[in-house]
């Protein structure tokens, strides 16, 4: 009789490392806009733009971190050494309270957070033996919950520290958690399975595409343009590249979702500054309501997984991943429409004589927009990861994750550019992004329907 399959003992170190690292990142990020406004006295437009430049950089550096891990250092050493710079970035923010210190600290954190991002989740998978593979789904569930636990607690605590004790303490606490994250990771060192660097892939996505582009016009009539790479790459590599190209078409419209989503830590915080922050006799920080998002995520994922989707299925409404994502895109429009309506109330209160505090709407009016945005996140982001993994060939899954991170970066780039170049104030700012999101949702619906029709056609041909 065989014993119960157990988790590898080193998993607790990796999950603990992730919880502490996410606390450090989201804690620092939650106060970044307020820090720039109140302590470095940046203009609102600049604070919003700089925040989104930083998030963009954080989602570009995974491309570099993954390349270093795969080609040179391996995942263990990449996580260990890049985390040292990550800790240093928090220290710089805590000690050096100037625009130059902000730039240096954020550069180190963007390199650190992004550099280890593609490595940690893959490093978890490296630890499992073949007989432990049945535990995969559950360990990634714990992993996702550790991310949200770190995010929720950081968003609740760190803004309070900033308002009570100033930036040195508020940035130092996430720095201590990042140092603890590194210590926890190092403590498991003797237990880890360390996969060696895989080296360059001679049949990777970029190599296939590059070869096909160089041979454009040489293929037979009616052939797919990627078939031009068949002289140097095997059929499975070309089929994988085709799948990635199809998925990129789906991902393109998702870029607009990220342009809205990350504004909960920039424009929504600025909106909260203009509202009545006194709730139940306690004055909140403008950044504290961000904690609603991870708390709601932890509640909504089980609700949708075991409640909403099974209920719809029993009524004959089976939602494919792309239909779920389409619904999420339209719900994101509603979240910014709600933000625009709240801003209308704020602007009206500000226009009253003497702009009395009593006339300002309560910050609790932001709750509907947070709820709507979090529902959209569950439908778009969580489902998008599921869609990517089911549609991409196994050999191309790391490529797909890199492209997913790239959509987040491009979304934040768009927000930064719009903030700097388009002169919009008050409710008009939120209506503008709601309109952009509506256009993206309509485009996404068209792409999703065509993708599903193509899948149905392939299924019919295969039958």
Per-residue pLDDT averaged across 100-105, rounded? 96
Which of the given ranges, 40-44, 317-321, 391-395, has the highest pLDDT on average? Answer: 40-44
Q: What pLDDT is recorded for position 397? A: 66
Q: Kindly write down the DSSP assignment for every residue of 147-177, as one continuous string.
A: HHHHHHHHHHHHHHHHHHH-HHHHHHHHHHH
Q: What pLDDT is recorded for position 460? A: 41
Is 426 a residue whose pLDDT tops 80?
Answer: yes
Residue predicted with more confidence, 199 or 152: 152
Q: What pLDDT is recorded for position 319? A: 83
For the chain, percent of residues with pLDDT exceeding 70: 90
Nearest to 120 by CA among 18, 24, 213, 25: 18
Q: How high does pLDDT run on average in the chain?
A: 86
**Which residues make Cβ contacts (< 8 Å) with residue 384, sequence separation at least 6?**
251, 254, 321, 325, 404
The predicted-structure confidence for 157-187, as pLDDT tens digits, reads as follows: 999 999 999 999 999 999 999 999 999 999 9
Number of alpha carbons in the 13 Å side-chain half-sphere of residue 89: 28
Q: Residue holding tokens 């991409």?
A: 392
* SS3 state of residue 278: strand
Banded model confidence at residue 462, pLDDT cuts 50, 70, 90 = very low
Q: Cite the DSSP H helix spans in 188-262.
A: 205-214, 235-261
- What domains does the chain contain, in order, with CATH numbers? 8-189 (1.20.1250.20), 233-463 (1.20.1250.20)
Q: How far is CA 127 from the centre of its chain?
A: 25
CB–CB of 163/37 below 8 Å? no
**Which residues make Cβ contacts (< 8 Å) with residue 341, sequence separation at least 6?**
427
Banded model confidence at residue 463, pLDDT cuts 50, 70, 90 = very low
Banded model confidence at residue 356, pLDDT cuts 50, 70, 90 = low
Is 432 a residue whose pLDDT tops 90?
Answer: yes
Q: Residue holding tokens 């209920």?
A: 311
Is 322 a residue whose pLDDT tops 80?
Answer: yes
Tell me if the pTM is above 0.75.
yes
Task: Give me the sign of the Cα torsion angle 79, 82, 88, 94.
Answer: negative
For the chain, percent of residues with pLDDT exceeding 90: 47
Which of the given ranges, 100-104, 139-143, 221-225, has the highest pLDDT on average? Answer: 100-104
Is 3 a residue whose pLDDT tops 60?
Answer: no
Report the number of secondary-structure helices (H) and strands (E) in the chain: 17, 2
């Amino acid at each position: 009789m065989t014993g119960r399959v157990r988790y590898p003992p080193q998993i607790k170190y990796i999950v603990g490392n992730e919880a502490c690292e996410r606390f450090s990142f989201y804690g620092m990020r939650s106060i970044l806009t307020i820090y720039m406004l109140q302590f470095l006295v940046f203009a609102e437009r600049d604070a919003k733009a700089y925040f989104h430049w930083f998030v963009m950089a954080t989602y570009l550096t995974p491309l570099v971190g993954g390349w270093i891990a795969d080609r040179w250092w391996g995942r263990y050493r990449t996580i260990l050494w890049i985390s040292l710079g990550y800790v240093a970035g928090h220290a710089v923010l805590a000690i050096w309270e100037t625009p130059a210190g902000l730039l240096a600290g954020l550069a180190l954190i963007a390199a650190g957070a992004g550099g280890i991002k593609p490595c940690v989740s893959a490093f978890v998978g490296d630890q499992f033996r073949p007989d432990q593979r049945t535990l995969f789904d559950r360990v990634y569930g714990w992993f996702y919950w550790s991310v949200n636990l770190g995010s929720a607690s950081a968003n609740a605590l760190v803004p309070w520290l900033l308002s009570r004790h100033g930036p040195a303490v508020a940035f130092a606490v996430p720095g201590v958690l990042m140092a603890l994250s590194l210590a926890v990771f190092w403590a498991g060192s003797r237990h880890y399975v360390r996969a060696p660097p895989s080296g360059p892939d001679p049949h990777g996505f970029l190599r296939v595409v590059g070869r096909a582009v160089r041979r454009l016009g040489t293929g037979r009539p009616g052939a797919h343009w990627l078939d031009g790479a068949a002289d140097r790459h095997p059929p499975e590599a070309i089929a994988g590249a085709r799948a990635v190209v199809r998925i990129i078409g789906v991902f393109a419209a998702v870029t607009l979702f990220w342009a809205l989503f990350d504004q909960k830590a920039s424009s929504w915080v600025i909106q909260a500054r203009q509202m009545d922050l006194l709730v139940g006799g306690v004055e909140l920080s403008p950044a504290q309501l961000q904690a609603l998002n991870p708390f709601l995520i932890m509640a909504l994922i089980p609700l949708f997984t075991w409640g909403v989707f099974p209920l719809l299925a029993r009524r004959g409404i089976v939602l494919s991943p792309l239909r779920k994502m389409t619904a999420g895109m339209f719900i994101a429009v509603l979240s910014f429409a709600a933000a625009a309506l709240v801003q209308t109330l704020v602007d009206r209160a500000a226009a009253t004589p003497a702009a009395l505090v009593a006339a300002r709407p309560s910050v609790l009016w932001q709750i509907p927009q947070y709820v709507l945005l979090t529902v959209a996140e569950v439908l778009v982001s969580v489902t998008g990861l599921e869609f990517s993994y089911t549609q991409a060939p196994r050999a191309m899954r790391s490529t797909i994750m890199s492209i997913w991170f790239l959509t987040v970066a491009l979304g934040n780039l768009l927000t930064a550019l719009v903030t700097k170049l388009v002169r919009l104030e008050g409710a008009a700012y939120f209506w503008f992004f709601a309109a952009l999101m509506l256009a993206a949702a309509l485009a996404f619906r068209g792409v999703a329907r065509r993708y599903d029709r193509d899948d149905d056609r392939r299924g019919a041909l295969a039958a």
